[in-house]
Amino acid sequence: WYLEMVKPAYQQSIDAETKAVTIKYFEEILKLLHPFMPFLTEELYHDELFGERTEMDCCIVANYPVVGKADEQLLKEAELIKGLISEIRNVRNTRQISPKEALPLSIKVNSGLNYENWTDVIFKLANVSEIELVNDKIAGAASFMVGNDEFFIVLNENIDLEVEKERLTKELDYLLGFLKSVDAKLSNERFVQNAKPEIIENERNKKADAESKISIIKESLTILG
């Protein structure tokens, strides 16, 4: 995903800063992998990509990367954006739409995520013609959910309402089953008493997320009739 994000446009050069940072990332990855793939990583570590190295500048004696504090919010948002891009690509594949054809994207934000911070990535990796924030569902559009947010792509073709209802019904059935399994865990006294607090909190978050999605899908099915 990272390489897709930083890859320059066709016949364009990558900017110097991005190239330098990417090479540094690659070097750190080689250090991380070295204990498990010593010969291959050592060979790559001395590639001309990294410039001239002294005789003692070897991967085997390089300082091992130190774990820092991750930006959990950024990682969470990135996963949502990756999910969004995958869903847009899925819309293309299922409807045999060329990757070269830009598609209009509308977003009904329920999560509070600021999509303006990610527009460049979405435009580049999903090839959308525009991004519009909306307050209501768009009837007749191809729709999907990522997290609790709803997305709509208005296509030139008419959407088969029966197929769309079938898709949503299957997703609803899955979520209802998932919610039932989570409820079973949370209603199990032995589980609640013995599980770590963070595990219980994670299950409660799963429950809230599933309930939110179920509500949204039921609303969509009501609109479809």
Q: Considering 89, 117, 149, which residue would you say is the last residue of a domain?
A: 149
**Residue 43 shares a structural domain with residue 96:** no
97 and 38 in one domain? no
Angle (nearest 5°) at CA 186 between 180 and 192? 160
| Domain endpoint, select from 92, 123, 149 | 149
Contact 107, 151 (CB under 8 A): yes
- Between the CA of residue 57 and those of 30, 32, 50, 61, what are the distances in Å? 14, 16, 11, 7
CATH of the domain at 195: 1.10.287.380
Q: Tally Cβ neighbours within 10 Å of residue 88.
A: 23
30 domain residue, yes or no:
yes
pLDDT of residue 103: 92
Q: Is residue 66 part of a domain?
A: no
CATH number of the domain where residue 87 is located: 3.30.2320
> Are residues 170 and 214 located together in one domain of the fold?
yes
Q: Is 154 a member of any domain?
A: no
Closest among 126, 104, 128 to 5, alpha carbons compared:
126
Q: What's the domain count of the chain?
A: 3
Pair 141, 165 in one domain? no
CA dihedral 109, 113, 114, 115 (to 10 degrees): -70
Distance CA 147, CA 116 (A): 17
Mean pLDDT of the chain: 89
In a domain, 84, yes or no: yes
| Nearest residue to 178 (alpha-carbon basis) of 207, 150, 152 | 207
What does DSSP assign to residue 63? P
Of 40, 61, 82, which one is at a domain's C-terminal end? 61
In a domain, residue 67? The reply is no
Is 155 contained in some domain?
A: no
Residue 52, in any domain of the structure? yes
Q: Are residues 123 and 192 in the same domain?
A: no
Q: Could you list the residue range(s) of the whole structural domain that residue 18 is in? A: 2-61
Q: Which residues of the chain have pLDDT under 70?
A: 156-161, 223-225
Q: How does pLDDT run across 71-102, given as a tens digit for each residue?
A: 999 999 999 999 999 999 988 887 778 888 89
The three-class DSSP label of residue 177 is helix
Residues 117 and 144 in one domain: yes
